[in-house]
Structure 1
Amino acid sequence: YPWDKSSLKSMPVDLQQFEKLDAYALKVNITNSVEELVKALLKQARTDLEKVRAIWMWICHHIEYDVVGYHNKSQLSSKPIDVLQTGKSICEGYAGLFEQMCSIAGIQCMKLSGYSKGYGYKMGQTFTGDSDHAWNAVYLDGRWHLLDSTWGSGAVDDSFTKFTFRYNEFYFLTHPALFINNHFPDNSNWQLLKPTLSLKDFENNMLHNSNFYMLGLLTAHPETAVIQTVNGKASVSVDCRSATLFTFKLKGTDEHGLMTLKKHGMKLDIYPQKTGSHKLQIFAKPSKASEDVYNCVLEYVVECKSVDKAMRFPKDLHQPVGPSWFTERQGFLRPSHPDPIIHTNDGRCSLTFTLGKDISVLASLHSDNSSLTEDMRRRHIMQIHRRNQIELKIHLPHTGNFVLKIYAKKKSDPGNYDYIFNYLITCLNTEVKWPAFPQSYSKWVEDYEILEPLSGLLPANRNVQFKLKMHGVAKVLVQAENTYPLTQSRDHWEGTCNTSGCREVFVMVHENANHSFYSHVLKYEVETQ
């Protein structure tokens, strides 16, 4: 029956109601007789579901996977009593013990066998010959349900030499539509699905490990494990229930892609810079998680036939790119540019946000082929504040790809700025060569605004028009070879200054008519002859 995405289980299960029973089952310590063990476990179990749960919990926490026996099957007994007494087995023994304990408890249970995408599975492989795994079906509330106590108990390391108990709730009464993802029974009726899946589809389908579902992820596209690039690009998307953070690795780096977070998932475009087959891994963590631990949720193989050289991203580009629910939470609301890439033809662009919090913002520009100093990285961006709106005006120093990094901190915090997000800015026009904005000093207040001149480099021997929006000052002077006072009209100060005979021009303010000293607020350079 189809998965309606509301539950990972095939029947309603309230795990909180199992807490007492689970704790009781873990403490039962009988290993000399299967009958005695079952009798003890059932003392606290009333319903059939509770009986199955008690048996499941006991097996998952007391039987370990026999890595030695797996390599030497001839010496291995999968008889339930032997499994119980040695406390170890392989899947065959887990399923056999489960079946016998259920039958003693009066519950119908089947041992099933088939192919699995478990240890040693290689993406896209085919399955032939004998089945490689065993699990169970139990009959509860008038229908059959699936479970796998081997996989519920823990995991084997990559070299298959060490087993670690790590309980996994996912494999208890798993919904058949999810169980089929990595269990293919010899008898297709035991898929408990209509229509049933063919072996070919099982082989081709994407493997979602239990992390995928436990993190609230719903679907991934494409559904096949191998992706062919089209014109050098491959795309993957994931849908999920709630806000989730993602990262990815293509051959171990996150450089050749562009990942954007969506409210219910993410989208990733990959541009491998080498042809051939590359492993793509996608990692996720819930946005509320305190630890910085991402779990691998998907693995693809990307087959790249041609490389799109134009999509080489600057190494400073940080994933994810562009605004999202995450940047909204940090106080950046209503972005003028919702997309991760900003294209500019003349080398200029302007972004606006509404600030939802009382924050100070810092922005800087980075590119692989420019030697911008830290100071210049900031001076190609001008911040303009209008009440709770912020505008970032950007003038690129040359053509190419740039990363615009945006940082913020609470105004009340004395500390450092935190990195929030970044955009990719692209400009193909080779003529572009904008000078930096004028340098501003600490007395230049956040909501002052330069109307002209915007360029921090003034022409020599010219009259230059100044127009500045400033409030709360008594006088404004422009200091070149001579001093030029600006006059106030409504909300701005304006006037002209001549640049001959000087290398620098300063704008200075008199904050209070009674004081004699001026504060520097802006500095312009003058072109050399």
Structure 2
Amino acid sequence: MSRLHSYSESDVNFYYVDDNAKKANPQKVDTFDKLITHLKKAIQDRRHEELYLVRGILVWIAQSQSHSGREARYNTPLFYIQQLVERRISPAEVFKIFCGYAGIECEQVTGRAKAIRYRAGDSDSEYLKHHTWIAFKADGKWHLMHPQWSIQAFVGYEHGGEIEIEKDGREKIKVRTEKQGRPMFMVNDFWFCTAPEIFVTRCFPDDIKWQNPDGNVFVNTVNDFLALPDLRQGFYDMKLCLLIEEKSCVLHSKNGKCYVSVMTEKDGAKAIDFSYELAMEGTSGDDLKPKDMKQLVLHQICGKERNIIKFEIRLPVVGTYWFRLAVGLVHEPDKKRNCCEFKILCKEACKDCRRFPMCAGLGAYGYGPQAEEAGLVNSSQTDAKINMKPNKGKSKQTIATFKTENDPETDMSYAAQIIKSGSDEVDGDSIDIILEGTTEVVHDKKQGKLTVNANVPKDGEYALVVTAKDLKDKKNKKEKPVAGYLVTTHEDEDDKRTNAQIKQQERKVRCENHKVAKIEERNRLVDIIDSTRMEIDSLKVSGKRK
């Protein structure tokens, strides 16, 4: 995974600079000289003096937006903040003015940007053009920053002309109209000194040299820029890698199915949580039958290191779809960020478009964090999807084994159940049915091993759900679902082909990451050497003055 920023992240710390900037009352630092003097007070590391100064300017502007209602004298810092909030001047213009007073070399850059109105697969439209951002030179190196995205965020915006079909396993069938959202003042560190190779995926300059003033050009044409996979801040924050064959924001379904897969760092599923949304182009959902739409996306956790997150998407009708992912930490479910978005073109509907069986509220199939919390480790089953032949008899085959605590006195109790893919209808809706007698769980406490055996009576798709119960917990007497697997009797050639492609892409990504790690280590060492030289030169100059 490439770096997030153009400065050395191991060598720079903004804590004291940010804290000092927040303490600068706009009414007291009422001239640029006073403001710059105040911001410089917190700068101890002279190697990065200019970088820290621009950072202080960013934080001060962001937090001062709330003071814009007060009267300010012309050509003062607060005057320009008022002009900014009233939209009389752009954020890029404000930053260029502030950088000028601070003695920082700064250029205003124009070009195309994939901003809030952008949707994956959009063509080159007017709303993509005429955006502005800045490039500034600090301590001998150029950095890119999108001022507006660094100090403001829009919340609540929604695209119009869509029908929301499914969100995290729940059927919606909701027609959307465009919602403008509202601005929120904040500092977004991601867009300050963003790494050029990331910045160019969202902002394509009219003058190509401003992609990366100190290095190589990454994207050659506007068409290349528009075709790039639509990867958002959450994707980079969580250090994800994309594992799809089509390196594009537009995917083409095959046989009415589409696959999107990402790779996390090792054991990523333990800490990272995804949510998804499937929407379709249109303004009316009258032709869509809710019973055919429920659970069209299979969310899976796969891989030996639990770091492959795969989504299998079944498309019931011909049309244009959008698939969106958000990502966050498991313990912060309400703080997810946009991760990625794909436009899916479906020219052939999925034949026999069965809905996936619900996974007992687990959210994802496979070995996830709930299983480990329940004392189940080292699952033998690395895939979330299991193929088996139907068997009407009593014999069962081993589906998965787990290691458990090697303690005969353990008070954890485990069970499993097979849930039939809903096909019966009650009041027009589908239901899930638990099939009795189809599972067997053997817990060898001395060996610390749990074996799950099962069979299915006929062809179809089923959910195998492993449950756990802490016998010491007297308050919660119910068994809790901790792991789920999709059991299918169907041989799916599309699935086999996709799994082979994922493995191939995974190998490529690992090789690329290894190369990137070497380059970043080299750059880190070069930065240390350059910084040391600058410090030595500074000491020499100081010594001569004395």
Matched to 2:316, the amino acid is Q
Q: 1:320 to 1:132 in 2, by over 3 A?
A: same
Q: 1:311 to 1:291 in 2, by over 3 A?
A: same
Percent identity between matched residues is: 23
- 2: distance between equivalents of 1:393 and 1:36? 73
Q: Which residue of 2 aligns with 1:520?
A: none
- 2: distance between equivalents of 1:282 and 1:374? 26
Unaligned runs of 5+ in 1: 67-76, 430-529
Deviation at 1:109, TM superposition (A): 1.2
Q: How does 1:230-309 map to 2 (within 5 A)?
A: 230-241=254-265, 243=268, 244-251=272-279, 255-262=295-302, 263-287=306-330, 289-291=331-333, 293-309=335-351
| Deviations 1:242-297, CA, capped at 9 Å, x for gaps | 5122232223987123222243341222121222111211122224x244544331
- 2: distance between equivalents of 1:266 and 1:241? 11
Q: Which residue of 2 aligns with 1:418?
A: 480
Q: Which residue of 2 aligns with 1:384?
A: 442
2:106 pairs with one of 88, 105, 109: 109
Q: 1:324 to 1:224 in 2, by over 3 A?
A: same
1:178 pairs with one of 174, 193, 198: 198
- 1: distance between equivalents of 2:31 and 2:224? 43
Q: Which residue of 2 aligns with 1:350?
A: 398
- 2: distance between equivalents of 1:38 and 1:355? 60
- 2: distance between equivalents of 1:388 and 1:146? 54
- 1: distance between equivalents of 2:53 and 2:452? 64
Q: Which residue of 2 aligns with 1:455?
A: none
1:365 pairs with one of 412, 418, 435: 418
Q: How does 1:47-446 map to 2 (within 5 A)?
A: 47-63=49-65, 82-86=79-83, 88=85, 90=87, 93-127=90-124, 131-157=129-155, 158=157, 159-160=179-180, 162-192=182-212, 194-197=216-219, 198-219=221-242, 221=244, 222-241=246-265, 243=268, 244-251=272-279, 255-262=295-302, 263-287=306-330, 289-291=331-333, 293-310=335-352, 312-317=354-359, 319-324=363-368, 327-328=371-372, 330-347=374-391, 348-357=396-405, 358=410, 359-367=412-420, 368-369=422-423, 377-386=435-444, 387-414=447-474, 415=476, 416-427=478-489
- 2: distance between equivalents of 1:8 and 1:382? 48
| Deviations 1:478-527, CA, capped at 9 Å, x for gaps | xxxxxxxxxxxxxxxxxxxxxxxxxxxxxxxxxxxxxxxxxxxxxxxxxx
Whose helix proportion is higher, 1 or 2?
Answer: 2
Q: 1:220 to 1:425 in 2, by over 3 A?
A: closer
| Structure index of larger Rg | 1
2:7 aligned with 1:11: yes
Please tell me whether the aligned partners of residues 364 and 377 of structure 1 are also in contact (alpha carbons under 8 angstroms).
Answer: yes
SS in 2 for 1:44: coil
Deviation at 1:177, TM superposition (A): 0.6
Deviation at 1:166, TM superposition (A): 2.7
Whose strand proportion is higher, 1 or 2?
Answer: 1
Q: 1:78 to 1:274 in 2, by over 3 A?
A: farther
- 1: distance between equivalents of 2:88 and 2:323? 30
| Higher RCO (C-alpha 8 Å, min separation 6) | 2
- The normalised TM-score by structure 2 is 0.67
Deviation at 1:332, TM superposition (A): 2.8
Unaligned runs of 5+ in 2: 69-73, 158-178, 281-292, 426-430, 492-546
| Deviations 1:195-220, CA, capped at 9 Å, x for gaps | 34121111111222222222332446
Q: 1:48 to 1:406 in 2, by over 3 A?
A: same
Deviation at 1:79, TM superposition (A): 11
- 2: distance between equivalents of 1:375 and 1:278? 31
Deviation at 1:313, TM superposition (A): 3.4
Which stretch of structure 1 is more off in the superposition, 414-423 or 56-65?
Answer: 56-65
Q: Which residue of 2 aligns with 1:479?
A: none
Matched to 2:104, the amino acid is I
- 2: distance between equivalents of 1:399 and 1:196? 50
Which stretch of structure 1 is more off in the superposition, 81-90 or 159-168?
Answer: 81-90
